[in-house]
Structures are given as structure tokens and as C-alpha cells.
Structure 1
């Protein structure tokens, strides 16, 4: 059986030693505090967004940016090694952090402005004649185990009375799934974000979004040691405020930002614009609805035998709710 530790270790491919990260946060900046901020992927998108929104100056602390090419699982591993302090991920990595005993808490959440929108999609390859979730029966479907893509497939299949036993599965990261779909190695993929847009541009067709099965939630999380240290907590509160304002600027200037994002990443503007306009979000405090969604997803992984039972409320810290007060 695939275990929670197998998933965490296997997907966090880059060793922490190669990142050159210190074991604990260092003092620095005008306030004597350095926040080590994790950013997922190889491109410093959040850093550039802060600059574009004019939010990178007059910091009362120093930000040391850390890139995690292997995304959420690598960020979790770094947090467990006290090598990063704060970062933004989807909701799923925080579940696996809790399952593995990583001292990490979500302190703020993004939710989609329109509940009918989603970051997540199940797409069918060209020529597969898959038009609905029911058509997935007996077909080969790609998702990455222990991620929201697996949860999406499970929930979609459940909605039509099917289970994972009714499909052939392929455990592929989203970064590799599009190639498999284009080559006909799989019939459908569960994907998200920019990869959704890339696949559709290559001819894939939409089968189902995540909106019918779960809300699209992102989580800003921090190590508990940072949350509980007064000086670092003050810096974290400021960072939360700036991150929220950066998101507002992003969607208020979506066309200009899409052009900058495309230039930064080298992706086609068509792909970036589709992604940026698909599901605008707002950063806000932890709510009962966010915790309930996290509990549902945690229970889903428990039912699959991937993790032990968790109390999702333990994955959150709401002491920064004041950062969102007018």
C-alpha cells in the first residue's frame, strides 16, 4: 500500500542539502527578522508579482525567497527540516504535513470569488470519445497519488457510482501528464492551473471541473515556531497583508499581469491569460467552511488508506484574522 511517507519522500525529489538552506531562520533586515518564503516551481512568480504591485519595498524585515521546483511535497519537507518559514500551496500539502507530523499551520486561505469556478479539471485526450465522467469507466486515467488530482478523480467517479477499481490508473505528476495524454499513453488526466490551459490548447477536451465536487482553496502556511515567536509573527502578519494585496492587484490588472507572467515564464500569452482569468481568488482568514473542506479531503485520503484519520482543525491557526479587518 502507498503510505503517506512514501508519497512525501518520493515526490520531494530534490535533497534539502542541495537547496543550501539553513536549519533555522536568521536575524536580518531592519527589524532583525528574515522570513524565508517558499515559492513553488522554478520561476519566481510571487516575487515578480510583489514587484509589479509595488509591494516589495519598505519591508520592516527581510524576505529570503526559496524556490521549490518539486512543489508542495518539497516545501513540506523543507518546513519539517526548519529550512523555510512560510509558503503558499494548495490545500492538500497541508494535510500531508499534518499526517507526517510537520509543525506547520495554515494561517490564511484563498477562495475563488465565484464558487462555480475551479483550478482543477479532468480532461480527455483527442479522439478518445470521452464526454462525461461515466465514460471514464474502463479507461486509463492519470493523476498524482496523494494530491488534489487523485481526490478529484475519486470524487468525480463517486458521483456516477464508480470507484478507482472501475478505471485503469496512472500515477503521474501533472507536469508529465500532458505529454502522456498527447502521446495517447493515457485517455484522460486530472490536472490543474497552467497545465489545464496547456492541455486544452493541445486539443484536450473538458470532462469535469472540480467545482461540482469540492471548493478550490489555497493555503498560506507557516511553521509553528514562526507563528509563536512575537517578532516573526509580526513579520508574518505584514507578509499576509502584502500577499493579499498582491492578489487583489493581480486580478485588478489581469491583462497586464498576464503579459508580464508570460514574459517571465516563456509560456504563450494565450495559455497564461486563460489560466489567470479562469478562477480569480481572494485571500482571507480561516473560516469554518475552509476547515470543513479540509476535513472532507483528509477523510478522503484516509478512506483510500493513504493517511491515518486527522482532525483538520489542528491544521489551522486563526490568530492572523485581524490582518483582514478593514
Structure 2
């Protein structure tokens, strides 16, 4: 009887240990060195960056934060999908639009604004349009396709019994939409702050229909799967979400200072800044089964409007940062 298999046993055990170490991933490598991590955060119009920096929420963060600014959620989410950024801030409708075309984006944190960030359907101050039903035969910009402005417009038309094909929809970036409404090239504009506040205060625009009863007021921190699967980036992201919550709390507790942020950021009069700051107040909303069900209702309705490329299963798109990477 040969004993050669016994002589090979130590090598076999060593190989098995190495295999198990490889399967266990970064957890066996100890804590990630966050001093080597740069978290790339996407923002819209500089609002959240200004808030986080003014609040001091990132003071002492062991990683670097690199901000990237976008005019609206659609290009932000495209950058997120392309891994040009690690995490970005976007509303419910654009998040769902992105989720309908990729599985590489996950929701990692939710916030809710009672005032829904100034989301509203606007008309010029001297417009003869007095109700959403009056939009039949008119041209409306819901800002970008798949945006919260788009969702509000479709919800408002449904509520008023107006078919979408009875309205000419023109997708325009915010700056272009503002100019188009001021020139009369469009009859109405569905948008959000800071654009709503500026239009109201500087051009006298009227709110034809706000988002009360039509929208959720939810905004999300969305991350891509590459960031979530990287131990260092995931650890930084987990810390960032906590610090972002602190920044939102600071805004609620320091409303005068918060309004000053908007005044400096926009260069607009105090009336505009105060209105924006008040409507921007929000708080962290737990990613509970109830919230998931609420967002699923929005997804189903948006899919019914024919906007989403594919149906969205919200539950599978929510990622608990406390769960193991890859789960």
C-alpha cells in the first residue's frame, strides 16, 4: 500500500485554505483603507454639495469626495450607469427610468420632502390657461424625459382627463425650457426647484398644478454596482449616507443659514433663496417595505404610461448597505 496520498495532504490543505480565502472576499483582508478612496458623487445644480459643505457633515471624513454637477437627473444617472460617478442624487421618476434599462444601479438611501422640492406645472403670469384641462392643444415641456417633471405632467393630465397625445410635449433642458416659456415658445413647463422658484419670483410664473397628491416627494441616493462591489468604495458610501443625513438635519435646524446657501449658490434675491430653501427641507426615509411598495406603485403607473423601457421590480433594486457586498 502506498503512502503518497498522505504525503500530498499538507499541500492539498494549503490549496484548500487558499481557495476558501479567495471565496471569502475582502472581509478577510481587514478594514478597507479609506484614505486611499475617492468617492465620486453626482449632484444637480450644486445644491447638495453646497448643503453638505456648509453643514460640515464631511469634516473628518477619512476619504476624499469628488463632486460632479449635472443640470438634471437624466445625465447624472447616465454617468452613474457608465461608472463615471459612484453615487448620485435623483428623484423617484428618473431613478425608475434608469432602473428600467439597467441592473447596474441600486437605491441605497431615500429622503422625503413634504414640499416635494417645488415640483410644479407652471404657466406664464399672463397666460389664459387656468386649468390642466386647458392644456389641450398646447405645448408643454416636462423638462427632460423620464424626469419628475415628466411624471407630474402625465399624472396631472390623467387627473384632468386629458390624453397625452392631446398635448405637444417638448423635452428641454431647464435653461432652454425657462427661455422657451419666457418667449412664448411653450405654453407650460413642468419642473422643480431651483427652476420653479426662479420662474415664480423673477418671471411671475403661476403654479397651474403642484405635486400634492400626485407625487411622492422621494429622492434617492443611487449607486452603481461597481461601487457597491468594491470594499473601499462601499465603506466610504456607507459613511457618506450617514453624513448626508446629518447635513439634512442641519438644514432643518438652521433654516436661515440654509437659505443663505441658496442665495449664494444662485445669486438670486432673498425671496427666491428663501422659497427654495424652505421647499428643499427633507429627512431620511427608511427603505422599509412600505416605501418599496409606494415606489412600486409609481413604477407600475409610469410603466403604464409607456415611459419605462421595461417593468421595474423595486424590491430587487434596493440595496442594504449593511448587507454583504454582492448580495
TM-score tier (shorter): 0.7 to 0.9
**Which position in structure 2 is the counterpart of 1:79?**
80
Are 1:139 and 2:138 an aligned pair? yes
Secondary structure, counterpart of 1:38 in structure 2 = strand
Quick one: structure 1 residues 145 and 251, their matched pair in 2 at CA, closer, same or farther if it must change by over 3 Å? same
Are 1:100 and 2:104 an aligned pair? no
Length-normalised TM-score, structure 2 = 0.80
Rounded Cα–Cα distance in structure 2 between residues aligned with 1:160 and 1:198: 27
**Which position in structure 2 is the counterpart of 1:250?**
251
List aligned pairs for 1:1-326, cutoff 5 A: 31-41=35-45, 43=46, 45-65=47-67, 67-112=68-113, 114=114, 119-143=118-142, 144-201=144-201, 202-306=203-307, 307-320=309-322
Rounded Cα–Cα distance in structure 2 between residues aligned with 1:57 and 1:217: 27
Secondary structure, counterpart of 1:206 in structure 2 = strand
Quick one: structure 1 residues 320 and 252, their matched pair in 2 at CA, closer, same or farther if it must change by over 3 Å? farther
Structure 1 unaligned spans of 5+: 1-27, 322-326
Quick one: structure 1 residues 167 and 79, their matched pair in 2 at CA, closer, same or farther if it must change by over 3 Å? closer
Tell whether the 8 Å contact from 1:106 to 1:317 is kept in structure 2 after alignment. Answer: yes
Deviations 1:152-172 (A, max 9, x none): 111111112221122232222
Length-normalised TM-score, structure 1 = 0.80
Larger radius of gyration between Structure 1 and Structure 2: 2
Secondary structure, counterpart of 2:170 in structure 1 = strand
Tell whether the 8 Å contact from 2:198 to 2:272 is kept in structure 1 after alignment. Answer: yes
Secondary structure, counterpart of 1:211 in structure 2 = coil
Tell whether the 8 Å contact from 2:112 to 2:282 is kept in structure 1 after alignment. Answer: yes
Rounded Cα–Cα distance in structure 1 between residues aligned with 2:322 and 2:212: 28
Tell whether the 8 Å contact from 1:109 to 1:219 is kept in structure 2 after alignment. Answer: yes
Rounded Cα–Cα distance in structure 1 between residues aligned with 2:263 and 2:117: 21
Tell whether the 8 Å contact from 1:136 to 1:167 is kept in structure 2 after alignment. Answer: yes
Tell whether the 8 Å contact from 2:74 to 2:146 is kept in structure 1 after alignment. Answer: no
Aligned-residue CA RMSD in angstroms?
Answer: 2.3
Rounded Cα–Cα distance in structure 2 between residues aligned with 1:30 and 1:225: 17
Tell whether the 8 Å contact from 2:80 to 2:88 is kept in structure 1 after alignment. Answer: no
Quick one: structure 1 residues 175 and 245, their matched pair in 2 at CA, closer, same or farther if it must change by over 3 Å? same
Tell whether the 8 Å contact from 2:93 to 2:147 is kept in structure 1 after alignment. Answer: yes
1:76, CA displacement in angstroms? 2.1
Secondary structure, counterpart of 1:193 in structure 2 = coil
Deviations 1:254-313 (A, max 9, x none): 222222331233233221210111252102321234323432332334233331222122
1:29, CA displacement in angstroms? 7.1
Tell whether the 8 Å contact from 2:262 to 2:276 is kept in structure 1 after alignment. Answer: no
**Which position in structure 2 is the counterpart of 1:17?**
none
Quick one: structure 1 residues 29 and 36, their matched pair in 2 at CA, closer, same or farther if it must change by over 3 Å? farther
- How many residue pairs get aligned? The number is 289
Rounded Cα–Cα distance in structure 2 between residues aligned with 1:192 and 1:257: 18
**Which position in structure 2 is the counterpart of 1:20?**
none
Rounded Cα–Cα distance in structure 1 between residues aligned with 2:58 and 2:170: 42
Tell whether the 8 Å contact from 2:92 to 2:218 is kept in structure 1 after alignment. Answer: yes
Tell whether the 8 Å contact from 1:34 to 1:61 is kept in structure 2 after alignment. Answer: yes
Rounded Cα–Cα distance in structure 1 between residues aligned with 2:109 and 2:273: 25
